[in-house]
Chains A and B, each alone.
Chain A
Amino acid sequence: QKEVEQDPGPLSVPEGAIVSLNCTYSNSAFQYFMWYRQYSRKGPELLMYTYSSGNKEDGRFTAQVDKSSKYISLFIRDSQPSDSATYLCAKYSNYQLIWGAGTKLIIKP
């Protein structure tokens, strides 16, 4: 079992919908979590990070960590075609960054 599991998708939703992207993780050592966004033929860029359980909000994006169920989520409100990208979750633990495989998101106009 990989330390960070992520459904590769693709996930296709209509413009304006609320998007939910999820990862599960194993190993409960102290950690923080990151979401990166990667546009086609570009490098990943940091979208959000969070240290603890609960929610963190930044504009249309909300990152949520549920440590009891080892679940990491990213919610996108009022999704736009420009949000179409691959979203990678990552966990920092034991001096390493562990990556999920990425979920490809397609927002249809």
Chain B
Amino acid sequence: DTAVSQTPKYLVTQMGNDKSIKCEQNLGHDTMYWYKQDSKKFLKIMFSYNNKELIINETVPNRFSPKSPDKAHLNLHINSLELGDSAVYFCASSQPPPGQHTGELFFGEGSRLTVL
């Protein structure tokens, strides 16, 4: 039974389109994240939600909008896609220990976005 699942796994689209990636976790964690991994494997945090509340909002174009309908789901919507948005987007969840914002991260398998 998959702990963190995200869909779709692959996404190929044209510049200017709008697309969404969905994420669900069944670990009962309070905190969920979106990361972007570029071609050089560098992981960059984009957003973090704790119990549906946005707690980390890094410098990301406002074309990217996260949405957390409940603490088990965190979706990512991207408007007006650009070539530079091509990357693998990872959803993750964690249950931070008291006084911390991050515990062990459990990642999904990634959504590979290609913008043509």
Asked if B105 contacts A97 (CB within 8 A), the reply is yes
Q: How far is the CA of A41 from the CA of B109 in the complex (A)?
A: 7
Bound complex: CA A95 to CA B110 (Å): 24
Number of interface residues of B (CB under 8 A): 19
B49 at the A interface (CB under 8 A): no
Interface size on A, residues (CB 8 A): 21
Asked whether, in the complex, the Cβ of A43 is within 8 Å of the Cβ of B40, the reply is no
Are A43 and B110 in contact, with the CB atoms below 8 A? yes
10 A-B residue contacts at CB 8 Å? Answer: A44-B105, A45-B107, A92-B100, A92-B102, A95-B100, A95-B101, A96-B101, A97-B105, A101-B40, A101-B42
Q: Which B residues form the contact surface with A (CB < 8 A)?
A: 4, 40-45, 90, 92, 100-102, 104-110
